[in-house]
Structures are given as structure tokens and as C-alpha cells.
Amino acid sequence: MNGNSVGYDISKSGLIILLFTTTILAISCANVGFPPGGPVDRTPPTIVDTFPFPASLKVDRNVTVSITFSERVDRRSVEETLFIAPNPGKNLRLKWKGKRLVICFTKPLRPDQTYVITIGTSTRDLRGNHMKESFSLAFSTGDHLDRGVISGRVYGVTNPQEVSIWGYFLEQDELDPRKIFPDYVTQCDLKGRFQFSNLALRNYRIFAIIDRDKNLLYTPGYDAIGVPSKDVSLSPSKPQSKECLFRVAVHDTTKLSLLGISVPDRRHLELRCNKPVDAVDVVRENFTLYSDSLQRSLPIQAVYLDRQNPVYIHFVVDLPCPGEYQLLVRRLRDQFGNVLPIDRAKIKFVKATINPDTLHPRLLSFYPPDSTRNLLPNESLELIFSEAMDSVSVETNFWVLDSANARVAGKFEWLNPAVVQFRPWTNNKQSGWVSRMAYRVFLRADSVCDISGNCLGDSLLNWRFWVVNQDTLSSISGVVKDEDPAGVGKIFLTATQVKGGKATTTIRLDSLGSYEFSYLLPGIYTIEGFRDADGNGRYSLGKPYPFIPAERFVVYPDSIAVRARWPNEGNDIIFRND
């Protein structure tokens, strides 16, 4: 037992013969049953009796607690997941009597205090069967029992029973789980659900932890952690909070740094970082290119993040002469929110010669792949080039023909100077690809150029694809609501096919209201979503310390069956404010 932790944690406790034989064999074959030893034991252990009884009041402060299991259990597994709140420190001894655990306190318990003893789901019997859910025994040395409840669920983990839930009294904003032991501990059940009961009506901060070193302290970069979207306040008017949702991940806490910069020619710079960066910060306002030789800053014509490897940031510039240069970074974060330190926000480079840009660009990828036969009507075509392109040359020399050789009217959208998408567009709106239609795509490579005028190639590139039969598709729709009037951020919803295929579709809503997933293939789907409060276009996990709340997310409680030509309506998505 660690004297500073909340629970007790012991981790280291002839014819006649022939006729006779035939008869015996016949009898044996006629008796069908389990092999010797009986059926395999798969029954999980349970707790069948306790002293004191649950919810007992005015319990003697010198009480000896006993907990009786339904069968013999692995004692070490129990002791490793036994937690007592408030923490008795070292004033505790454990004894075993067969199936019964006896907990002896060496000093009297506190007066007028609710105690909660929790045994987690890692408890197992001698055949390795785990308890299905955590067990809590609450009793009070006074004349009342605290009634506060906090419950919720953890998502996205393979084995939810590995996840512990740590609760802290929120005495100050800068609570550091790396240094402070939790006041309450429980474990998730097989479905990731958890509950704290008999809590005092106070303010709490809750974390979900995979405590790999089992020391009841958070180890950054090693333990996986789930950060709450907000703290919990229990009061007489609101003694319960039932919607604490978590996503657990190992947070990358290494510092972001600039590893180097390459200058292939006078028009291009390529900055390499030590890990993927947040695309939100990759804008011209966050960078300054300075010439030491000329004693002035130089214009940056474009900056963009590499689509395929986001450790690279590309710059379009025009270096005037050889000499010494500096690239200054005002703000840059990695995808976990770690900020580039000020003392690392500058990188110098020297160019003895400045070469002209003579390298031909390359087409790195085209979507959909050639001869695709099931393109959805609302999907876009996408081209990814190796460098910044002359957009006019691309748009002028790219075209799509349908099976009648008619040119498809469409709209181009440049995601960055090297990535462009094309979709059908008529009457100022997206029109979609025609059901079951065959299309051919052409790109005149000898006329498509980069920003320096270097052409893509000397051939006519072409692809073909077919659109899925729209009669096989359907949709899911409903309304997105938020119980928190102060909720902010665009809404991202994702429908994932969990049976019948592996399709995934994401939509973005600028505000609350109706939503629809169109053109879905038949199958079983789940829906989840989040509110993008920080505007970076992806779910942000938050930080345990200094505390930054995770973004609010929601998981639709039921799977949704999609059948061809049968729209599934009324699937409302509600962001709770419990």
C-alpha cells in the first residue's frame, strides 16, 4: 500500500472379454456429457456478502470490514484493485479466510464520514474469469450517507476493463495527476461504463487512465489518458452527473522542434519538423522569411502543409540572391497541441548559390484509382501534385467526359497549391455524378505546369471510373441538438459502416439543426460526432496538465440499419450537458 494513495494496492501478493468390452463401450458411447472434470468454468466471481451491510449508518469507527466472494479468487488481483476512499494511508491490514477478505483498520475511522470501498473488474477467480463490473461498498460512521453519483463511459479502447477512472476533489484549477493521487478510483466494465456512487456534494475532476505502471500517478507518454470536456459540480439540486464521456490515448508530450530546411531552388523552401504539425497554424501570418544579406524580410507567396506527410511545410518564395537567411515562426503546434518553444522558433540557412527551378512536377496520386466501379454520386475527384502548381494550367487542361462524350461541367477547389478537387457543378450548385454512368478523365500533361512553368510531362493522362447504382443507396438523417446553450464549434459527424462493408463518411455542419448522410451503401452504421471548439477540423483530446478540456463528443446510442431506397430518418444527435 502506498501511503499516499487512495486504496490498498498490493502487487507483488477372449469372447467373454470381447463381449464385456463391447458392452462397456456401448454404454460409454450412449452416455453423452462433458469430459472428465466437468464443463469449463466461465462463471465470473461475484461478491455475495459484506460487513457492514451496504448503506449502513453509524458504523463503529473501529469496524473490521469483511467481503465474501462467491468462490476462491486470485488474492493478488483483488489487492491490486482494492481502493478505499477516503484514503486510510498505511493504517490498514488485509487478511484472507478462504473466500473472505478481511480489512482491518489500525486507527479509528473518521467521524461522520462516508466511506466507499471499491473492488475493480481486474479481480479474477482461479480460472482467470474476471468480475463483470466493479463493486462498491458504501457505509457511514455518521447518521447520513453521501448520495452524489458520477457515471459515464469510455470509448475507443480494445479492453475497457484496463481503464481506471480517477476522481479528484477539485480544490484548485492546477490539479496535476502526475503528482497527486486520486481521491476516488474505480474501473470500467466490459462495455466501458463506470460509476462513482456515494460521493460528497463537491466539485470534481475526472480522468480515465490506463495506468500501466500501476502507481496511481499519471505518467505522460506512457499511460493512456482521457481528459474530460468539463469538470463536474455536484450540488443538492443536481446530485448526479451521468454523461461523462472519454476517449483515451497516449499523449505525445515531446517538444515540437524544427529539424532542418532544404532549398531545392530559388522558388521553394521545405521545412521539416520532428513530428506532424497542426494545419491550422500553417498560414503565411505565422512565418517570416528574412534575408541577413539584404537586411529585410522577403515575401512568402504561399505556405502549405504536406498532404501525405505533415511533418513537412512547403513555402513558395523568390530568393533574390545567395546569402544567409532566417525563417522565423510566430506560432506552430503539433497535433497534440504542444507549442513550438520560443527558443526553437527560428532556423537559419545559407545558400552559396541559388538555382533556378527546372524540376518537372509529378502527379503523386489521383482519386478515384483507375477503373473504379463504385464511386458515390457526391464524391470528388482529387489530384495531388509534388509541388505548387499553376492553377490556370491545371484547370484549363483537365476535363471529364460522360459515356455520351459530353463534357461534364464542374467546379475546382484548391485545398492547397498542390492539391485540387473537382466535382460536377451546374446551376451554381453541386449536381453529383449520374447513377451507373461511366466517365473518362483526361489531363494534358504537356500543358500542365508548376509555378515556374515546368510542364508535368509529354503525354495525355487518362483514367476511367463508373458510378454506383443509386438505387442501391439510401440515407441517414436527423437533427443535431445541444443542451448546453454555451456550446460552440462547428459539428463534425461520422457514419461508420460496421456490418456489410467498411465505408466511412464525414459531414460538417456550420450550426445546429438538420443533418443527412446521403448516398450510403446498405449495411449497419454507427454515428459519432464532436463540436470543433478550437476550429482545427479534428477532435482535440485536451490536456491533463496544464488543464485544457477535451472537445465535447457524442456517440449515437444505437446502431442504424440502412437498406437500399429506405431512408432512415429521425436519428437525432444530442450533445448532453449533464
Q: Which helix (H) or strand (E) holds 496?
A: strand 490-499
- Coil, strand, or helix at residue 531? strand
- Coil, strand, or helix at residue 80? helix
Among 316, 281, 246, 267, CA closest to 553: 246
456 residue type, one letter = L
| pTM greater than 0.85 | no
Average pLDDT over residues 327-345: 93
pLDDT in tens, 252-281: 989 999 999 999 999 999 999 999 999 999
Question: For the residues of 429-473, what is the DSSP string, one character each?
Answer: EE--PPTT-EEEEEEEGGG-BBTT--BS-SSEEEEEEEEPPGGG-
pLDDT in tens, 95-119: 999 999 999 999 999 999 999 999 9
Domains and CATH numbers, the chain: 7-11+44-247 (2.60.40.3710), 258-351 (2.60.40.1220), 363-471 (2.60.40.3710), 474-575 (2.60.40.10)
Where does residue 545 rank: exposed (0-12), middle (13-18), buried (19+ CB within 10 A)?
Answer: middle
Confidence grade of residue 378 (pLDDT, cut at 50, 70, 90): very high
pLDDT in tens, 286-313: 999 999 999 999 999 999 999 999 999 9
Q: Are 477 and 571 in contact (CB under 8 A)?
A: yes
Would you say residue 205 has pLDDT above 90? yes
Strand order in the sheet with 135-140: 7-8, 82-85, 114-119, 135-140
pLDDT in tens, 507-516: 999 999 999 9
Average pLDDT over residues 349-374: 93
pLDDT score at 26: 41
pLDDT in tens, 379-433: 999 999 999 999 999 999 999 999 999 999 999 999 999 999 999 988 877 789 9
Task: Provide the sign of the torsion angle of the four alpha carbons 290, 294, 299, 301, taken in this order.
Answer: negative
